[in-house]
């Protein structure tokens, strides 16, 4: 994955960037690392991945959706503020966020005091790319 330099002056309005991930490997990584906090559940209520976890937001349709925008989920102020700089998640942005949520927020918003409520970090870059590719298969 190429290093992403995040502009803090302009919102990202381009089409989603596709990461170098493998969706099948991402499903396995998601099941190992993400299911205790997240679910992928469609509008009909069908759980497509994960368990009915409520710690983190539903990840159905996350690619192409603005950060911090699932209705009914209580986000931290900093992830909501990131919407000013990132119009919508793409695979590359999401993979970078998963690897270090607080660092991503600080870089994206330009605020040294920004903090993520997500304390978990996906340690392997390949896992983060693969999970992002897997989540990209669930479009709204």
pLDDT tens-place string over residues 60-101: 999 999 999 999 999 999 999 999 999 999 999 999 999 999
112 pLDDT exceeds 80?
Answer: yes
Q: What is the pTM of this model?
A: 0.84
Whether residue 120 contacts residue 33, with contact meaning beta carbons closer than 8 Å, is answered with: yes
Distance separating alpha carbons of residues 66 and 51, to the nearest angstrom: 23
Higher pLDDT, 131 or 53: 131
What is the structure's pLDDT at 87?
Answer: 94
Tokens standing for residue 120: 């978990």
Average of per-residue pLDDT across 106-127: 95
Q: What is the mean pLDDT of the chain?
A: 87
| Closest C-alpha to 83, from 71, 67, 94, 70 | 67
């Amino acid at each position: 994955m190429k290093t992403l330099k995040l502009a803090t002056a302009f919102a990202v309005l381009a089409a989603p960037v596709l990461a170098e991930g493998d969706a099948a490997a991402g499903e396995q990584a998601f099941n190992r690392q993400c299911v205790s906090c997240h679910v992928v559940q469609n509008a009909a209520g069908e759980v497509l991945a994960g368990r009915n976890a409520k710690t983190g937001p539903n990840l159905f349709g996350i690619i192409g959706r603005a950060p911090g925008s699932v209705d009914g989920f209580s986000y931290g102020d900093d992830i909501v503020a990131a919407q000013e700089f990132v119009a919508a998640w793409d695979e590359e942005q999401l993979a970078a966020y998963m690897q270090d949520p607080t660092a991503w927020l600080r870089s994206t918003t330009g605020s040294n005091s920004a903090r993520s409520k997500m304390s978990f970090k996906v340690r392997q870059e390949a896992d983060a790319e693969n999970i992002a590719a897997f989540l990209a298969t669930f479009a709204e």
